[in-house]
């Protein structure tokens, strides 16, 4: 209980933080007495619109839906969004994929193909992509290239998160919880008006897991555990009914070994002699694998209604400091250990001018500047073997100045036909400064001082037809651009080329049975060029360009209320992704084997580690592209004279995928079942929930990779369960 109090006091005693965001949110889930699906309002096109009238494939989730589906962290979103994979990876942070587009391990200094925005602010540091969803009001996942509506360009899509905005209505919300593995959690939300034109709020939440679900058999200590804390505060000033000023600041910290403390894959041998020692276990020894990420940010949004248009300014600054330590060969004592301190500072400024919602055409004009300075300062490799990497320290600094302009407009004819055209031009200027030391002496020839520029025009073209109030069809063609950059932890000075995605999509959005059933579907074809693939090597990671890939797929999402008090939601994703050109892709053969076509050694012949090879990977399946995923959520609410009982159960199925481009490490198919029971008394201001996640205790991984030192995998959590009590005023 002391930890629970500490979690809440940390939020209450923190210096007042302030953050900027818009009050637009997804519409709440229909009340228990509703017999129809609720209209969902989204901001995918930077204005309030019904989701059924937006010609983009969108999954929109309210805070209530996320809670009922057992989604409390961004890394759990895959179970609620078809076509989305969201896994932690060793030493890189968040690695989301949408429709098979993403980067399995994001190197320091590179951005994700999935752009994450929190309250209109782009999250440019991959470690900051993991965050709590405790104070959000809505979350939207936009699939496909995005760039004519948002500040930063993205090839895969956008995850847009909105949190609670200060209001003139005082409110308080407190929750405390406890679960297995000695996990305490808590959240606090306060909202208060200070005057008729000024209101503030504060949100604090966190969790602390003291007992891990695995053991380091060398030391006997618990592994796969950690803590995270999030603070968010806002101040909203509305000096006139046409002007609002939203100021904000955030602070987050996580300390964990999830995605680290990897186990040696069964049937393999690490270079240090490490072998498979059972599910959830490792033999890393001391010092323990660990990561710490600390982020602080501030933003300011000024929204001014000019009558003929809305002028919006969004300014943001974020400092992210990420540190990790990892035993790279999985043995005790370690043969090679890596340590990395990776600060990333970002600054951004966006101006956009938007037409009134009732105008025809509707339009948006924007300018965006993004600055990022990322560093590996220092990256240290030490150990007793692998002599070229012993006792080396790398100091790298990469600077980016990005400039872009974008425009998007839609014209509607009276017969229901609409045409949308969008365009964007981006210029990214990169510079790299790097040096490497061995036992404190500068290595000759290691100093790098270079720069490069990437520019790209991207576009969007959509035709949609509103057949009637409930039915709409659309077809679109768009392109996305993810900039290149420089490798930091293993610097070469040779720039990585930008990746480009051209997408064609067709879909429909419908509501049937007198608004008891909502059914949306889409099919798409991607032509993916110069996709960026990251390889984990001794001493760090290196990003390289694959040649080309094509990805085809389709998705179906539904929401239904077949009877009063029963809500059903779900989705199905079908995916077929293949590399069409990848002439020298990374591949591995267990030592002492030779590169193909020689046969690999037998288990008795293994000497430890793997031999790195280059292979033609054309025809291989793209990474983290499961052929099928399915999610289902059912909630049944039982009204009683004394209160209301809500029963929720969710099911997620993943047909499996490959972690690596050579298709040598496969995640087998798996299913997850989550459930919760919530009681809220009539007229009361409190509730209690019993919840469980992964009830069948399915074993699956959050990360797996082959390196020259070992073949490794990091498991996801087994069955977890607990109780949460909340008070709401």
Identify the pLDDT of residue 710.
87
Q: Is residue 599 part of a domain?
A: no
Find the mean pLDDT for residues 676-703: 92
pLDDT for res 89: 60
The whole-angstrom separation of Cα 499 and Cα 546 is 9
Residue 334 confidence (pLDDT): 59
Q: What's the average model confidence in pLDDT over 186-199?
A: 95
On whether the CB atoms of residues 404 and 426 are closer than 8 A, the answer is yes
| Domain assignment present for 600 | no
Decide: 71 and 132 in contact? Cβ < 8 Å: no
Q: How confident is the model at residue 14 (pLDDT cuts 50, 70, 90)?
A: very low
pLDDT tens column, 601-658: 888 899 988 999 999 999 999 999 999 999 999 999 999 989 999 999 999 999 999 9
- Whether the predicted pLDDT of 376 surpasses 90: no
287 vs 39, higher pLDDT:
39
Q: Which domain holds residue 213?
A: 2-34+45-582+617-728
Averaged pLDDT for residues 418-424: 97
**Domain at 259, CATH number:** 2.40.170.20
C-alpha to C-alpha distance for 351 and 364, rounded to whole angstroms = 10
pLDDT digits (tens, 9 = 90+) for 464-509: 999 998 999 999 999 999 988 888 877 888 899 999 999 999 999 9
114 and 141 Cβ atoms separated by less than 8 Å: no
Coil, helix or strand at residue 657: strand
The predicted pLDDT at position 18 comes to 29
- Band (248; pLDDT cuts 50, 70, 90): very high
Using CA atoms, how far apart are residues 261 and 279, in angstroms rounded to an integer?
12
> What's the pLDDT tens digit per position in 259-296?
788 888 999 998 878 888 888 998 877 777 888 889 99
> What would you report as the CA-atom Rg of the chain, rounded to the nearest whole angstrom?
25
Q: How far apart are CA 211 and CA 181, in angstroms?
A: 5
Is 39 inside a domain boundary?
no
* pLDDT value, residue 23: 33
Q: Is residue 100 part of a domain?
A: yes
Name which residue leads in pLDDT, 286 or 28: 286
Flag whether pLDDT at 135 surpasses 80: no
Preceding amide of 287 cis, omega within 30: yes
| Contact assessment for residue 574 and residue 556, using Cβ atoms and an 8 Å cutoff | no
pLDDT at residue 107, as a whole number: 75
Q: Is the pLDDT of residue 149 over 90?
A: yes
Task: Report whether pLDDT(26) > 50.
Answer: no
Lowest mean pLDDT among 1-5, 427-431, 660-664: 1-5
Within 13 Å, how many C-alpha atoms sit on residue 5's CB side? 2
pLDDT band at 68 (very low <50, low <70, confident <90, very high): confident
Residue at 595 is within a domain: no
pLDDT tens-digit readout, 422-458: 999 999 999 999 887 777 778 877 888 999 999 999 9
Question: Looking at the predicted structure, is the pLDDT value of residue 333 above 80?
Answer: no
> Closest Cα to residue 62, out of 132, 117, 121, 133?
133
Residue 219 lies in a domain: yes
What average pLDDT does the chain have? 87
Reading the block at residue 601, the tokens are 């050694």
- Assigned domain for 588 exists: no
Mean pLDDT of 321-337: 72
Give 623-633 pLDDT, tens digit per residue.
999 999 999 99
More confident residue, 702 or 459: 459
pLDDT of residue 90: 53
Q: pLDDT band at residue 336, thresholds of 50, 70 and 90?
A: low
Number of domains in the chain: 1
Res. 1: pLDDT tops 70: no
381 in Cβ contact with 538 (< 8 Å): yes
pLDDT surpasses 50 at 27: no
**DSSP character at residue 621:** B
What would the mean pLDDT of 43-61 be, rounded to a whole number?
91
Mean pLDDT is lowest, of 228-237, 377-386, 565-574, 661-670, for: 377-386
Average pLDDT over residues 677-704: 92
Q: Which position has the higher pLDDT, 14 or 421?
A: 421
Task: Among 91-100, 265-274, 685-694, name the most confident range.
Answer: 685-694
Distance CA 202, CA 512 (A): 41
What does the DSSP 8-state code read for residue 672?
E
What is the dihedral sign for C-alpha 260, 290, 122, 508? positive
Q: How sure is the predictor about 132, in pLDDT bands with cuts at 50, 70 and 90?
A: low
* 107 or 3, higher pLDDT: 107
The gap from C-alpha 489 to its chain's centroid, in whole angstroms, comes to 22
Cβ–Cβ under 8 Å, residues 538 and 709: yes
DSSP letters, 26-70, are PPPPPPTT--SPPP-EE-TTSS-EEGGG--S-EEEEEHHHHHHTT
Angstrom distances, CA of residue 361 to CA of 167, 421, 525? 32, 11, 29
According to the model, what pLDDT value does residue 391 have? 62
Q: Which pLDDT value is given to residue 382?
A: 65
- The bridge status of strand 198-209 relative to strand 226-240 is antiparallel
pLDDT of 157 > 50? The answer is: yes
Question: What local confidence, expressed as pLDDT, does residue 8 receive?
Answer: 38
Task: Give, for 691, the enclosing helix (H) or strand (E).
Answer: strand 686-693
CB 313 within 8 A of CB 352: no
On the question of pLDDT at 335 being above 70, the answer is no
Over range 28-36, report the average pLDDT: 50
- HEC string for 70-135: CCCEHHHHHHCCCCEEEEEECCCEEEEEECCEECCCCCCCCCCCEEEEECCEECCCHHHHCCECCC
pLDDT band (50, 70, 90) for residue 550: very high
Q: What is the pLDDT of residue 10?
A: 37
More confident residue, 329 or 703: 703
Q: Which of 325-339, 345-359, 531-545 has the weakest average pLDDT?
A: 325-339
Buried b (16+ CB within 10 A) or exposed e, 473-493: ebbbebbbbbbbbbbbbbbee
**685 — pLDDT class (breaks 50, 70, 90):** confident
Q: Dihedral (C-alpha) 110, 660, 115, 359: value to the nearest 10 degrees?
A: 140
| Average pLDDT for 512-529 | 95
Name which residue leads in pLDDT, 504 or 67. 504
State residue 24's pLDDT score: 34
The verdict on residue 716 lying in a domain is yes
The DSSP annotation for 536-563 comes to EETTEEEEEE--EEEEEEEEEEEEE-SS
* DSSP one-letter code for 711: E
Token digits of residue 650? 């969710």
């Amino acid at each position: 209980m002391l930890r629970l109090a500490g979690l809440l006091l940390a939020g209450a005693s923190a210096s007042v933080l302030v953050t900027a965001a818009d009050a637009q949110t997804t519409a709440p889930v229909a009340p228990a007495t509703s017999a129809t699906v609720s209209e969902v309002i989204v901001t995918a096109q930077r204005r309030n619109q019904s989701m059924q009238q937006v010609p983009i494939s969108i999954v929109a989730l309210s805070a209530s839906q996320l809670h009922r589906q057992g989604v409390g962290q961004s890394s759990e979103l895959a179970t609620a969004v078809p076509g989305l994979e969201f896994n932690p990876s060793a030493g890189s942070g968040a690695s989301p994929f949408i429709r098979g587009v993403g980067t399995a391990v994001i190197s320091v200094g590179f951005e994700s193909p999935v752009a994450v925005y929190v309250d209109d602010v782009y999250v440019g540091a991959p470690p900051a992509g993991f965050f709590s969803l405790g104070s959000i009001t809505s979350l939207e996942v936009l699939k496909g290239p995005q760039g004519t509506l948002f500040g930063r360009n993205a090839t895969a899509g956008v995850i847009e998160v909105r949190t609670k905005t200060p209001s003139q209505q005082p409110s308080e919300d407190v929750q405390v919880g406890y679960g297995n593995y000695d996990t305490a959690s808590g959240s606090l939300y306060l909202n208060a008006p200070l005057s008729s034109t000024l209101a503030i709020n504060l949100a604090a939440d966190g969790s602390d897991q003291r007992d891990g679900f695995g053991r380091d058999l060398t030391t006997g200590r618990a592994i796969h555990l950690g803590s995270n804390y999030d603070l968010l505060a806002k101040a909203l000033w509305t000096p006139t009914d046409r002007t609002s000023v939203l100021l904000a600041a955030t602070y987050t910290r996580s300390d964990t070994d999830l995605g680290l403390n990897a186990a040696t894959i069964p049937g393999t041998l690490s270079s240090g002699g490490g072998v498979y020692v059972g599910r959830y276990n490792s033999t890393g020894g001391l010092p323990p694998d660990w990561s710490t990420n600390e982020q602080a940010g501030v933003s300011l949004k000024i929204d001014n209604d000019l009558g003929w248009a809305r002028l919006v300014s969004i300014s943001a600054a974020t400092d992210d400091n990420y540190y990790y330590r990892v035993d790279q060969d999985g043995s005790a004592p370690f043969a090679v250990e890596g340590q990395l301190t990776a600060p990333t500072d970002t600054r951004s400024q966006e101006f956009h001018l938007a037409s009134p919602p009732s105008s025809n055409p509707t339009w948006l004009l924007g300018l965006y500047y993004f600055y990022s300075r990322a560093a590996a300062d220092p990256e240290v490799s030490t150990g007793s073997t692998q002599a070229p990497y012993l006792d080396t320290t790398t100091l790298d600094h990469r600077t980016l100045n990005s400039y872009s302009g974008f425009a998007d407009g839609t014209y509607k004819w009276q017969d229901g036909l609409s045409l949308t055209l969008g365009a964007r031009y981006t210029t990214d200027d990169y510079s790299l400064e790097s040096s490497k030391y061995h036992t404190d002496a500068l290595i000759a020839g290691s100093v790098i001082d270079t720069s490069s520029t990437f520019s790209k025009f991207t576009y969007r073209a959509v035709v949609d037809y509103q057949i009637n109030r409930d039915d709409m069809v659309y077809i679109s063609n768009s392109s996305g651009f993810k900039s290149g950059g420089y490798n930091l932890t293993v610097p070469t000075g040779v720039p990585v080329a930008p990746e480009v995605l051209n997408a064609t999509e067709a879909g429909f959005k419908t509501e049937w049975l007198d608004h008891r059933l909502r059914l949306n579907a889409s099919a798409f074809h991607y032509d993916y060029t110069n996709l960026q693939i990251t390889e984990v090597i001794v001493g760090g990671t290196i990003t390289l360009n694959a040649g080309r890939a094509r990805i085809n797929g389709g998705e179906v999402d539904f929401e239904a209320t077949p009877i009063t008090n029963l809500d059903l939601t779900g989705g199905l994703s079908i995916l077929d992704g293949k590399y069409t050109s990848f002439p020298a892709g990374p591949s591995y053969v267990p030592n002492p084997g030779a590169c193909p076509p020689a046969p690999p050694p037998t288990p008795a012949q293994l000497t430890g580690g793997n031999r790195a090879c280059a292979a033609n990977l054309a025809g291989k399946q793209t990474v983290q592209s499961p052929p099928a995923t399915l999610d289902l959520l059912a909630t049944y609410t039982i009204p009683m004279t004394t209160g209301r009982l809500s029963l929720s159960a969710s099911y997620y199925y993943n047909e499996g995928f490959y972690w690596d481009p050579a298709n040598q490490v496969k995640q087998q198919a798996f299913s997850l079942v989550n459930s919760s029971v919530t009681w809220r008394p009539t007229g009361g201001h409190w509730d209690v929930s019993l919840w469980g996640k992964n009830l069948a205790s399915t074993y699956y991984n959050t990360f797996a990779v082959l390196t020259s030192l070992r073949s490794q995998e990091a498991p996801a959590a087994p069955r977890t369960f607990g109780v949460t009590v909340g008070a709401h005023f």
